Amino acid sequence: MPQAPFVAIPQRLPLVVTPENRGIVTTQDAKLVNAYTEKTADGEYWLYKRPGTATSSQPSGGAATGRGMWNWLGNIYSIFGATAYKDGVALSGTLNTTNGLYRFDSCKGATPKMQFGDGVKAYNYDSSGGIVLINDADFPAAFVKGWAYLDGTTYVATTAAAIQGDELNDPVSWNILNVIYAYIEPDAGVALAKQLTYVIFFKQWSTEVFYDAANTSGSPLSPLPSAKINQGCAAEGSVCEIDGMLFWVAINKSNSVSVLKMDQLKATIISTDSIQRLLSAADFTTTWSFGIKNGSHRFYVLTLKVENITLVYDIDTQMWSQWTDVDGNYWPFVAATYSSTAGQLLQHESNGYIYTLDDANYTDAGSIITVDIVTPNFDGGTNRRKQLNMLKVIADQTVGSTLWIRYNDHDYSATRWSNFRKVDLSHKQPMLPSCGTFTRRAYHLRHQSHTWFRVKALELQIDLGTL
């Protein structure tokens, strides 16, 4: 009995990619735009469309610059332009607008207060006294952004490497003697934060750590030299706390730039070589960052406005991607917080709106989100010429969902991409027949439908040539 002709098992091309740019731009090599990855129980990875956004409220009543947002005692405080809002209602007082985003913190005491400042002006707020400028003569005239509340004392810091504290649980009164200097290295201060029971002082090329030594004179703080890090902070706006971990864009004396995570006082580099190439020549003049949570995923969102890019790090899968607005520019949100009623909230950079984030929303305020997946070059493990008879897409079957696929056989040359071909993801086995011949090929997958989108891989039915 004659045997059936042998049919080669299709090769799987995984689509879980991270930025692999060979240079300082993302126009070549693999990338993932407006999506994130998730590892399933069987150990395989899927790509998901990022969550969409919808307008929730416009506290300012019109377009205004977003300058920060925070949840304090269950209320949402936001700053748009020169006005602060509590749950969308304007608070009395005009705020400084000369130095970008505000940083927030709070203190206890007989009357708990919220502190917020932008490095030029700082304010206290409580429900009875409203917004009050901190104008104590002993408060620094200029300070780096960030607060650290520890054991009843609120701390701020200066570019001259001084950390100064207030009277116990009294951020109205500041003590000129309550000061300590971060002098292990002679670099300037950049930002202040807290982790666990430690004050973290980010400087130009080093980071110093302080603890509450309960000193009876001067500052209660003492340095912890053994925890000093030989990496500073390249951009104050990159500093972000997420679930007790600190993230920031770091730089050292040799001008090497990377992204660091500090957990339990231990700092580790989380940026890949490709991410570091993007950051190596970046302009950090306007930088912001924040953390968001979506399902089981926690994201560190970093935007470099001058570079027109938003980079997103998934803390749980440890993978990077790029998120954009509907026009392909940076993701235009500057701050995030969480509401027990509305969920994850985002503050827009300039239109005066607060948005909700929702995985079940497949648009950005009604505009379709574009997911772009560009694969690494694929040669099937051999430089021989290959004939691709069939390409199948391993994705969720969804009515109304369309995937567009094109390819490039010329190392990502901008002028050598094929035309897009349409794949209907409502079919049980979505596929493209007759996909030509190649030696080495990269694919570009684009999803622009108002639907759910999850994809795992491309399955390639390949016949090898003789040369």
pLDDT in tens, 21-30: 999 999 899 9
Assess whether pLDDT exceeds 80 at residue 203: yes
Encoding tokens for residue 453?
A: 């989108």
Nearest Cα to Cα of residue 461 among 380, 378, 395, 389: 389
pLDDT tens digit sequence for 142-201: 999 999 999 999 999 999 999 999 999 999 999 999 999 999 999 999 999 999 999 999
Average pLDDT over residues 358-367: 92
The whole-angstrom separation of Cα 236 and Cα 118 is 11
Average pLDDT over residues 116-132: 97
Quick count: other Cβ atoms within 10 Å of Cβ 426? 12
Average pLDDT over residues 256-284: 97
Q: In 3-state terms, the chain is what percent helix, strand and coil (to 5)?
A: 5, 50, 45
| pLDDT (0 to 100) of residue 10 | 84
The whole-angstrom separation of Cα 325 and Cα 380 is 35
pLDDT tens digit sequence for 369-419: 999 999 999 998 888 999 999 999 999 999 999 999 999 999 999 999 999
Assess whether pLDDT exceeds 80 at residue 354: yes
pLDDT band at 460 (very low <50, low <70, confident <90, very high): very high
Q: How many residues does the structure list for the chain? A: 467
Domains and CATH numbers, the chain: 11-50+372-464 (2.60.120.260), 53-284+336-358 (2.40.128.630)
Quick count: other Cβ atoms within 10 Å of Cβ 180? 23
| pLDDT (0 to 100) of residue 5 | 52
| pLDDT (0 to 100) of residue 41 | 83
Say if CB 229 and CB 205 are below 8 A apart.
no
Query: In angstroms, how far is CA 138 from the centroid of its own chain?
Result: 36
